[in-house]
Amino acid sequence: MEGDAKDNTKSFSGIPEAIFVDNVDEFMSMPENSEGVEKVLRKLDEQHGKYKFMEYTLNTKRRRLREQIPDLARTLEMIEKLKAQKETMETQFLLSDQVFVKAEVPPTNNVCLWLGANVMLEYTLEDAENLLTTNMATATKNLANVEHDLDFLRDQWTTTEVNMARVYNWDVKRRQAAKASS
């Protein structure tokens, strides 16, 4: 159970975790930070920028999944209608933006699915339903993972911003103390 609780705080897509700087004196005395406050702040700012870029990428993925899931649901709903259909039905379908065409659809056992990348394949209604159900489950799981990663990412860039503020304030206090002792 302990491993499960820890896994819930980690990222699914390998986002590096920002370590909170609790003791700035200790942090600044580390060998990798010996080059000075400006370099440390630049590294933290670079890390912050990377987190912001990852956020943009994840938001794009989330937007795509949020569009895909309703499309899959509508397609599954249409397959159910086609499975239940016993006689020819009249319908309208979207030909292009805001242009609809009337059509008569006879009962069928097959359907063509647009798979993307200019690929369309014919499936039986059962196979199409299985494929779409699997795709729906995968898309829903991926959306949950992206949402989790976005939450994790927000925590990381907030931690990085706090670290930047703490290092900056530490430097201001250090300079003020040096000025006062001169």
Average pLDDT of the chain, as a whole number:
91
Task: Note the pLDDT of residue 33.
Answer: 87
What are the distances in angstroms from CA 67 to CA 47, 93, 131? 31, 19, 18
Is residue 150 a part of any domain in this protein?
yes
**Residue 21 placed within a domain:** no
Q: Is 91 helix (H, G, I), strand (E, B) or coil?
A: strand
In a domain, 165, yes or no: yes
Q: Are 59 and 151 in contact (CB under 8 A)?
A: no
Looking at residue 152, what is its pLDDT? 95
The predicted structure's pLDDT at residue 11: 81
Q: What gap in Å lies between CA 131 and CA 120, rounded to an integer?
A: 14
44 within 8 A of 166, measured Cβ to Cβ: no
- Return the structure tokens found at 11: 């990222």
More confident call, 67 vs 34: 67
Q: Cβ atoms within 10 A of the Cβ of 57, count?
A: 14
The confidence band for 167, taking pLDDT boundaries of 50, 70 and 90, is: very high
Mean pLDDT computed over 7-29: 85
Distance in angstroms (rounded) separating the CA atoms of residues 106 and 121: 19
Question: Phi then psi for 106, rounded to 5 degrees?
Answer: -75, 160
Answer whether residue 136 is part of any domain.
Answer: yes
Residues 46, 41: Cα–Cα separation, whole Å: 8
Is it the case that residue 106 has pLDDT exceeding 80?
Answer: yes
For residue 12, what pLDDT band results from cuts at 50, 70 and 90? confident
Residue 156 counted as domain residue: yes
The pLDDT of residue 4 is above 80 = no
| Percentage of the chain exceeding pLDDT 90 | 74
Q: Could you tell me the residue range of the domain that residue 130 belongs to?
A: 36-84+126-173
Q: Which residues contact 103 (CB under 8 A, 6 or more apart)?
A: 90, 91, 92, 93
pLDDT confidence of 8, banded at 50, 70, 90?
A: low
Quote the number of domains for the chain.
1
Residue 144 lies in a domain: yes
Residue reference for tokens 């009337």: 102
User: Is residue 157 a part of any domain in this protein?
Assistant: yes
Query: pLDDT (tens digit, 9 = 90+) per residue, 108-160?
Result: 999 999 888 899 999 999 999 999 999 999 999 999 999 999 999 999 999 99
pTM (2 d.p.): 0.79
pLDDT over 60 at 6, yes or no:
no
Three-class DSSP category at 124: strand
Does 31 map to a domain?
Answer: no
Cβ-contact 21, 109 below 8 angstroms = no
CA distance 110 to 112: 7
Q: What is the pLDDT of residues 66-101, one digit of tens each?
A: 999 999 999 999 999 999 998 999 989 888 888 999
